[in-house]
Structure formats: C-alpha cells, structure tokens
C-alpha cells in the first residue's frame, strides 16, 4: 500500500472497505460541512452503509472506472479525494474531494488533487480532467481555481438534491495545460515547506480579497493585512512604451473597492494557475500566472496575466513588500 506525503504530518493513501469504522467516525465529524453539498453523510449512517460506500469504489477500481483516497492528518482521517469517473477509453476523468473542518486551511485537498491529476496525465495518458461542483459551493470552486482549471459552463438545474434542482458548474484542465512536475520543482531550503505554505496563504488571501461572486462582498482589508504598510504595487498594463502606474496601498485599494461594491464590476474572481517561488533567507520572490473573470458594466469578460511578488520576513511573519503585474 502506498503512502504519499502531503506535508509534514499529512498523508494520502488508498481508502479501502476495511477503513469503514474510521471512515464513519470521520463522516460523523464532517457531516455539517459536507452534507449540504454532497450526500456522503446520507450514504454513510452506520458501519454497514459506510462499508458499502467504500466497497462500491473498490469494485469500480477493479474495472478501472473510479478510485478513492483518504487524507490523514496527524494520523486522523480528515477528508479525501477521488476519481468519481475514470474513462481511459475517452481520456476523460472527473476528480472530487471532501474535507472536515480539522483539515481546512492547510492546502491538503489542493495538493492531493494535484497528485491525482499528475498521475492521470503522466501515467495514464488522460486528455481531460473535469471538476463538477454545485453552484454556490465556494470552497470547491476555489480548489478548481487553484488547480488552474477553466470554467467551461453551467448545467442549469442539472441535479436534484434534497428536493432542490441545482445548477452544476463544470470546470476542466487539459493535459497540455497542466504543468510538468519538473516545471513545478522548487529549490530546497531549510524549513522551505513551512515558508512556502505561508507565502501561498498570503497570495491566496490577496487574490481572494477581490472576489464578489454569488453576492459575496469583497474584503479589501485583506490587502492591507498581507502587505507591509510601505508596499508598492505597479500596473504595467498599457502595452509597449506605456508608462507603468505606481500605487501605494491607499491609491490601489480605493478605486477597486468602489468598482467591486457599486455594481460596476460583479461576479469577479481572480485565481492563480501557475507559480514559481524562491525563498532566500528572509526574502522571497514569486512569479505567477493568473486568470480572472467577471461582469463589467453588464458584459462578461475573462482575462489572464502575470504577477511578480516580493516578500520579506517581518517580526510578525512574512508579508508582501511589492507587486508588479501585466495583463496578457
């Protein structure tokens, strides 16, 4: 049986029928977080039903049609990922996930899904990996974004769950869009995994500060929290020969907060699709590619671009010191 590290104390390994008692205890803890979106808790109410869920995946694995894996944190099962559909003949599969509260905020699901997608593309030669998510499941949508997936569209009123017809968003990533493992390799450094996780958190907090999808409100205060007060932000988006626009925090935040709250820019989100981070002692640098989408003045748009970010270690932790970006 293989075990794949997901961090210092987290492990990914197959979830099998003999895990049913542990799986049931985990589902009981996860019920409030999971059941509003997927019927794990409905399917697993006692040992027999929990065993049946895992046995179905074991049977499908023998047919090369699905697989399921658990995420253990400090020796406790806290969630998992799976191929809910795997069709090697068509070259298309679907990845899914679930997580209890104790596993949140650590990037475990993203790293576990990356491992599955790496395997699907590199080892099995799949062409397309899909992610199906109920509209409104913001956490699951955010994972799709962090994985660099593209939102293909919405299947309206596609699925009935608990007497309600739900829209289903379909996201996907293609084999030619997926970065190779070699391309994502990072220089090793003492304590680098902990530092990298903190820099990831800062970047995700910055990008998430502008999100106003599904009626949510942006949180521009998060921008001040991730930057040092003296930070510089530079937009180099005017094309060849154009002067870059240089902001301090106040001049950067003000107009963006207005657009995101007065109806000018709605259903907006921005997410990272690729990055490379170098940590050099108490300073760090990140090269990033991102995508964005939204509705501006009633017209839907999509875009992409590049960012470079500099970080410094302060007495209160890592912070961003500067950022520059260009749209593509």
What would the two tokens of residue 66 be? Answer: 């699905």
Phi and psi of 216, rounded to 5°? -75, 160
Could you tell me if 148 and 94 lie in one domain?
Answer: yes
* Angle CA 82–86–89, to nearest 5: 165
Domain boundary among the residues 177, 195, 223 is at 177
Q: What is the DSSP string of 91-139?
A: TEEEEEEEE-GGGTTS-HHHHHHHHHHHHHHHTT--SEEEEEEETT-HH
Chain center to CA of 116: 14
Instruction: From first to last of the 328 residues of the chain, give the pLDDT tens digit.
Output: 578 988 768 999 999 999 999 999 999 999 888 888 887 777 899 999 999 999 999 999 999 999 999 999 999 999 999 999 999 999 999 999 999 989 887 889 989 999 999 999 999 999 999 999 988 888 888 888 888 888 898 999 998 888 889 899 999 999 998 876 554 444 444 445 678 888 988 998 899 899 888 778 899 999 999 999 999 999 998 766 778 999 999 999 999 999 999 999 998 988 888 889 999 999 999 999 998 888 999 998 989 999 999 999 998 899 999 999 998 8
Chain center to CA of 210: 16
Q: How many CB atoms lie within 10 A of CB 292?
A: 16
d(CA 50, CA 280): 47
SS3 assignment, position 65: coil
Could you tell me if 140 and 219 lie in one domain?
Answer: no
- C-alpha dihedral over 113, 207, 270, 71, to 10 degrees? 10
Domain boundary among the residues 158, 177, 196 is at 177
Boundaries of domain holding 120: 4-177
Please give the span between the terminal C-alpha atoms of the chain, in angstroms, as a whole number: 45
d(CA 7, CA 191): 12
Task: State the total domains in the chain.
Answer: 2
Task: With CA atoms as reference, report the closest residue to 273 among 149, 119, 171.
Answer: 149
What would the two tokens of residue 8 be? Answer: 């210092």
Record the pTM: 0.64
Domain boundary among the residues 153, 177, 201 is at 177
d(CA 291, CA 293): 7
What CATH number is given to the structural domain containing 78? 3.40.630.30
SS3 assignment, position 290: strand
What sections of 215-291 are H helices per DSSP?
Answer: 221-226, 249-261
- 280: CB partners within 8 A, 6+ apart: none
What CATH number is given to the structural domain containing 280? 3.10.450.50
């Amino acid at each position: 049986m293989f075990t794949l590290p997901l961090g210092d104390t987290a492990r990914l390994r197959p979830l099998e029928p003999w895990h049913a008692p542990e799986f049931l205890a985990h589902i009981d803890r996860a019920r409030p977080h999971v059941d509003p979106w997927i019927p794990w808790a409905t399917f697993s109410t006692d040992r027999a039903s929990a065993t049946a869920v895992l046995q179905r995946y074991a049977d499908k694995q023998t047919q090369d049609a699905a697989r399921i894996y658990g995420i253990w944190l400090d020796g406790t099962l806290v969630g998992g990922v799976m191929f809910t559909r795997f069709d090697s003949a068509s070259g298309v599969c679907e990845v899914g996930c679930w997580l209890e509260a104790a596993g949140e905020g650590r990037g475990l699901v993203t790293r576990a899904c990356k491992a599955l997608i790496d395997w699907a593309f590199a080892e099995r030669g799949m062409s397309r990996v899909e992610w199906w998510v109920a509209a409104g499941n913001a956490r699951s949508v955010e994972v799709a974004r962090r994985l660099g997936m593209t939102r293909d569209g919405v299947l309206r009123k596609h699925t009935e769950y608990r007497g309600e017809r739900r829209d289903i968003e379909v996201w996907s990533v293609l084999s030619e869009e997926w970065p190779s493992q070699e391309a994502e390799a990072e220089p090793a450094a003492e304590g680098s995994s902990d530092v990298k996780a903190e820099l990831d958190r800062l970047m995700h907090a910055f990008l998430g500060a502008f999100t106003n999808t599904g009626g949510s409100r942006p949180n521009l205060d998060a921008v001040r929290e991730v930057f040092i007060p003296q930070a510089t932000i530079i937009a180099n988006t005017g094309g060849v020969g154009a002067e870059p626009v240089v902001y301090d925090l106040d001049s950067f935040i003000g107009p963006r907060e207005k657009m995101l709250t007065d109806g000018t820019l709605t259903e907006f989100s921005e997410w990272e699709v690729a990055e490379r981070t170098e940590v050099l002692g108490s300073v760090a640098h990140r090269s990033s590619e991102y995508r964005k989408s939204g509705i501006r003045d009633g017209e839907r748009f999509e875009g992409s671009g590049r960012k470079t970010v500099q970080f410094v270690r302060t007495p209160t932790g890592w912070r961003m010191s500067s950022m520059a970006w260009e749209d593509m």
